Structure 1
Amino acid sequence: MTVLRWSDVPGKKRWRRVALVAIVLGGLAGGLLGLNRAPDVSPPQTARVDRGDIEKSVLATGILKPARQVNVGAQVNGQLKKLYVKPGDRVAQGQLLAEIDPTLQLNELRKSQAELRSAQAQKLASQAQLKQYQLELARQRALARDRAGVASDLEKAQAQHDAQLAQLKVNESQIVQAEVAQETARANLAFTRITAPIDGEVLGIVTQEGQTIVSSQSAPTILVMADVDTMMVHTRISENDILQVRAGQPLWFYVAADPRRRYEGVMGAIQQAPAEALEADPLGRNSSQQTAAVYYNGVFAVANGERRLRTSMTAQVFIITERATGVVRLPMAALGEALDGERYQISVLEGQRVVARSVRIGKRDRRYAEVLEGVRVGEQVLLEHQSDTEGEHVS
């Protein structure tokens, strides 16, 4: 048998064999240590029993709208000559917003003034002519009493007098018509100056400078303004929850643009029928095909002094149907097996031991349950399961 000595092995092969032996021995040692090491056990999650508020609420979606919004339009034709505001401007009632070229309206006013003067002059002429016919009629009547006149002359004088009296009434009517036309022309001239109907903010410009406005059929909108000091939240309440909701209930909401800020409010009016049922022809649709969910509209007001709430923002509304303040509470995730209607089994940490207890539960919401008996404030309870309300908005 040939014995290979360590010195006979070439240098590169020698070190390669050393590395291989080291790897094998290291793997065996690691395996033995792994068999003897206890598996990692994560500590149980616990929570402290505390005092706080419990709010049972109905969740609804709402849309923000101004308390008062006005489409400011034009009542006369013409070219939009000048805009004096821009979106976001605060304006006062009566403030000049825009101006339409008044050329057409000025011409109409001058025309109506001329027609009025003409009608007044015709009335004066008719009055003078009537006076002449009155004198002639009186003369013919005197001749007839003296039997010195001709009957046909009296009849002619009477006819001329009556005709001229009627003409005078026509002239008076023409004056009234001319006065009305003049008032209309003055009003149309005033309509070329568009003023703010309310105190508020300009939401947007619809018609730009230089555009021609035609108001023959409907008043075209020049700009939209609104009173945004108070916003109205129009809320859609599911038919599953509508019987729990009533006017006067407290509520809070947040908007998608600022989910960390909580706004307080009180539910206002609630429609007694869904919006679809209030349409002009609710019976025209096939009720068997109505598979969409039914929602009732509720509306409430909220102050907007900081101007953080804007038109058409989406709000998540929490209508509080039941509330308990300053009660002993524990997380819903701490509740274990239900023993009866009000009693649940929970696990309480006493020193290094976990002890099972029975607790009686009162009001509850999505996160907490009120404890009527069974544990005290400050005790630690084990969370039996992960809460299914993770991701819920917390104010």
Structure 2
Amino acid sequence: MGETKIRRRRRWLWPGMAALGLLAGAAAVWWALQPAPEPPWLTAPVARADLEDAVLATGTIRASKMINVGAQATGQVKALHVKVGDKVKAGQLIAEIDATTQQNALRDELAGIESLKAQRASRQAALAHAQLALERQQMMMARDATSKAELQAAQNQLAAAQADLKANEMQLQQAGIKTETARANLGYTRIVAPMAGTVVAVVTEQGQTVNAAMSTPTIVRLARLDPVLIEAQISEADVTRVKPGMPAYFTLLGEPDKRYPTTLQSIDLVPPDQTKGGESTATTSATTQGAIYYNGVLQADNPEGHLRVSMTAQVFIVAARAGGALTVPAAALGARDKDGRHEVRVLVDGEGAAPRVETRHVRVGLNNRVKAQVLEGLAEGEHVIVGKAKTDAERAAEGGGGAATGSE
């Protein structure tokens, strides 16, 4: 009986062991076919790119020159020859004011001049008569044929005639000045463009009456829109990094992908709110304002008139630029050693084995805080570590937390 039981046990034991062996072999094959686990690192390749370090500023487009074309004559605007958007040349007629009053004033002055000229002829004749009378008295005095009183009367008459003629000459000069003024006032009724530009506003319409005696009324507003100026607000943290002559470009809100090239022309020495105040204004501004900005002026061509006054521009002032540079993300840069090199961790392929992490000391050039130029220590195509990847458990925990938050 005992031998029979042993035989039965052996009969069941061998198939069980064979099944276990098959399971172990299948598990080994399955494990071998599984892909290698991903390294727990976030990496980025060392690649070539165009790199620039730019100071960012918000700007506003201004006309390179804008003036108010006013009227120096009083009267009704009889004709207006331009409209908004018209391009005018220097000296071109813009508007005409009713010139009846100015024409009459000029005619009156011209008539006064003719009257004074007639008086001059009469006084010249009187002067000639007085001169002859004096000569006759002098001849008679030499012969004792007249008295001293007669001679003195002739002399006084000549002096009076000379004074009258002199007064007439001064009156003619005054009349000439008044005539020039009247002629200028008549010219003021024709309003012409003082410069070439574009009409950006019509302030006074045709038929409206203007009064130049009270203040200078504006007829139109004229602007030079090619080129235009960009006033950029440069932060005090960046103003020491830029200087006039640096290349720059700007974009518009409606065209964020189009770059307009320009150059930084100048930088104000004081903030704009302090240009009209003294030391007390500057102190007050410094204590009440959270940030200080300085106006930088740039210039851009505008041949098609695409750039308009008061548009907002995003300005980039290029402090440094490197083309085709070897770059890594700035996040990959670690501590800096005494030689100025940065620690960078590199993920190196183990050639069949698991990748390993190497620490390199890299010399860096241009760094715009997004990407950094590698001058020495890395090769193109290598992968640098920029952070640690999250585990499945961490992702699951975040997902659970998000679900819990959402359920709340």
TM-score by length of structure 1 reads 0.78
CA apart distance, 1:247: 1.3
1:28-69 CA distance string (max 9 Å, x none): xxxxxxxxxxxxx9x987654321221112222222212222
Counterpart residue identity of residue 77, structure 1: T
- CA distance 1:285–1:70, shift in 2 (3 Å): closer
Shift of 1:345: 3.5
Local SS of the residue matching 1:269: strand
Q: 1:165: how far off?
A: 0.8
Counterparts of residues 10-49 of structure 1 (less than 5 Å): 47-49=44-46
Aligned partners of 1:381, 1:122: CA distance in 2, in Å? 105
2-side partners of 1:368 and 1:61: how far apart?
23
Task: Give 3-state SS (helix, strand or coil) of 1:384's partner.
Answer: strand
Deviation at 1:70, TM superposition (A): 2.1
SS at match of 1:153: helix
Aligned to 2:34: none
Q: State the distance in 2 between where 1:371 and 1:358 align.
A: 15
TM-score, normalised by the number of residues in structure 2: 0.76
Query: Structure 1 residue aligned with 2:80, among 75, 83, 107?
Result: 83
Counterpart of 1:320 in structure 2 is 318
Partner SS, residue 317 of structure 1: strand
Q: 1:126 touches 1:168 (CA, 8 Å); kept in 2?
A: yes
Higher-Rg member (1/2)? 2
CA 1:326–1:107 in structure 2 vs 1: closer, same or farther (change >3 Å)? same
Corresponding letter in the other structure for 1:191: Y
2:174 aligned with 1:177, yes or no?
Answer: yes
After TM superposition, give the deviation of residue 366 of structure 1 in Å.
4.0
Is 2:333–2:342's contact at 8 Å kept on the other side of the alignment? no
The 8 Å contact of residues 233 and 300 in structure 1, kept in 2 or not, is answered as: yes
Q: How far is 1:255 from its partner?
A: 2.3
Matches of 1:271 and 1:289, distance apart in 2: 16
Q: Secondary structure at the match of 1:94?
A: coil
Alpha-carbon spacing, 1:339–1:163, altered in 2? closer, same or farther (3 Å)? closer
Match of 2:373 in 1: 370
Structure 2: distance between partners of 1:219 and 1:86: 20
Q: Residue 357 of structure 2 corresponds to which residue in structure 1?
A: 356
RMSD across aligned C-alpha pairs, in angstroms? 2.7
Counterpart of 2:283, as a letter, is S
The code of the aligned residue for 1:93 comes to: A
For structure 2, the residue ranges without an aligned partner over 5 or more in a row are 1-37, 390-408
Mapped partners of 2:174, 2:284: distance in 1: 60
Find out whether 1:249 has 2:249 as its counterpart.
no
Which shifted more, 339-348 or 98-107? 339-348
Structure 2 equivalent of residue 24 of structure 1: none
Aligned length: 343
| Change in CA separation of 1:383 and 1:81 when aligned onto 2, cut-off 3 Å | farther
SS at 2:265 equivalent: coil
The structure with the greater share of residues assigned to helix is: 2
Whether 1:308 aligns to 2:306 is yes
CA contact (8 A) 2:61 2:230 kept: yes
Report matched runs for 1:1-395 at 5 Å. Answer: 47-279=44-276, 281-285=277-281, 287=283, 290-291=286-287, 292=289, 293-333=291-331, 335=332, 337-338=334-335, 340=337, 342-346=341-345, 348=347, 350=349, 355-358=356-359, 360=362, 361-379=364-382, 384=387
Q: Comparing 238-247 with 369-378, which one deviates more in the overlay?
A: 369-378
Q: d(CA) in 2 for partners of 1:354 and 1:93?
A: 75
Q: Kindly tell me: are residues 160 and 284 of structure 1, through their superposed partners in 2, closer, same or farther at Cα, counting changes over 3 Å?
A: farther
What is the Cα deviation at residue 303 of structure 1?
Answer: 1.0
Give how far 1:176 is off.
1.1
Q: CA deviation at 1:230?
A: 0.5
Give, in whole Å, the separation in 1 of the partners of 2:388 and 2:120: 99
The Cα offsets for residues 145-176 of structure 1, whole Å up to 9 and x where unpaired, read as: 11111222222221121111111111111111
Distance 1:200 1:95 in 2: 11
Preserved CA contact (<8 Å) 2:41 2:387 = no
